[in-house]
Amino acid sequence: MCELFGSSSKFPLAASMLPLAEFRTHGGDKADNPDGWGMAWHTGANLQLEKAPLPGCHSAQFDSLINTVQSSLVVAHLRKARWPPVNTLGNTHPFIHACCGQQWVFAHNGMVPDVVATESAQSNAVCQPDGQTDSEFAFCHLLRYLTDHYQTPGTDADWIDILSKLSEQIAALGKFNFLLSDGKLLMAYGHDRLHYQESADAGNPSVMIATEPLGESTRWTPFVPGELRIYLDGLKVRQVFTHPAPSHASWNKA
């Protein structure tokens, strides 16, 4: 059911140094995620995004990005189409929307279909989904409530607490593992299926986050269920533990 990969580092890393080549094989070869691939990365002052509603394992474009991109921030996704079961570019992760003077990128693993009706009932001038997925509706829901509180890098600000409460509430609707970034911070929420690997090699602190451990390394650590981890330049700067209620519990905004 979809897979996520993210990385954050102090200095740009060549994507070929990350286990993205193995990750790519999970897009319809070694794992059943054949319905789309996408990769976003930070360059200069902007986020770049390439994606396609096709199997990542066969994509020459994805392979080329892995061999050419250098970045201090990467968010990638392999899709198993569930909600809706339609392969289109608009339904392919990651998603990018503008909010609070920043570009934000988001990718999700799991299913939270009830959030579609909840968010559709609101008048959201901040974020309108381009596709039909519950994932993008959840992304817009997060941005709608962050817009009045967001500060950057501001990891001690109240918007982090709002993000954690919103994540907990949406997770109660199903399964909600995600990667989120404002172009500087890498935010990862592990509802029930996410791992991290931290490194300080050669004075370049870094972290990799993946749905499933990649490569032969045994250094991957599972998230505590409901854990939100936030990284800046490869270093963990904030950690919040949430406690999602049982699925389909009623909830309100944070």
What is the percent of the chain with per-residue pLDDT over 70, rounded to a whole number? Answer: 94
Give the pLDDT of residue 254.
44
Q: Locate the DSSP E strands across the chain.
A: 3-14, 37-43, 46-52, 70-78, 95-99, 102-109, 177-181, 185-190, 195-199, 206-210, 221-222, 227-232, 235-241
How many CB atoms are closer than 10 A to CB 248?
11
Q: Are 214 and 194 in contact (CB under 8 A)?
A: no
In this structure, of 25-29, 126-130, 148-152, 153-157, the range with the lowest mean pLDDT score is 153-157
On whether residue 246 sits in a domain, the answer given is no
Q: What is the mean pLDDT of residues 243-253?
A: 65
Q: Is the pLDDT of residue 247 over 70?
A: no
Burial 204-236 (b: 16+ CB within 10 A, else e): ebbbbbbbebbeeeeeeeebeebbbbbbbbbeb
Separation of CA 241 from chain center: 18
How does residue 1 score in pLDDT terms, banded at 50, 70 and 90? confident
Give the pLDDT of residue 155.
64
- Cα–Cα distance between 55 and 82 in angstroms, integer? 15
On whether residue 136 sits in a domain, the answer given is yes
Domain count, the chain: 1
Amino acid at 74: V
What is the model's pTM? 0.95
On whether residue 254 sits in a domain, the answer given is no
Q: Is the pLDDT of residue 109 over 80?
A: yes
35-66, pLDDT tens digit by residue?
999 999 999 878 999 999 999 999 999 999 99
On whether residue 253 sits in a domain, the answer given is no
- Cα–Cα distance between 154 and 149 in angstroms, integer? 10
Q: Are 143 and 126 in contact (CB under 8 A)?
A: yes
Q: Structure tokens of 245? A: 């209620």
How does residue 217 score in pLDDT terms, banded at 50, 70 and 90? confident
- Cα–Cα distance between 31 and 42 in angstroms, integer? 27
- The larger pLDDT score, comparing residue 68 to residue 251, is at 68
DSSP type of residue 82: -
Amino acid at 238: R
On whether residue 173 sits in a domain, the answer given is yes
On whether residue 181 sits in a domain, the answer given is yes
Find the CATH number of the domain harbouring 195: 3.60.20.10
Q: Which structural domain range is residue 13 located in?
A: 3-241
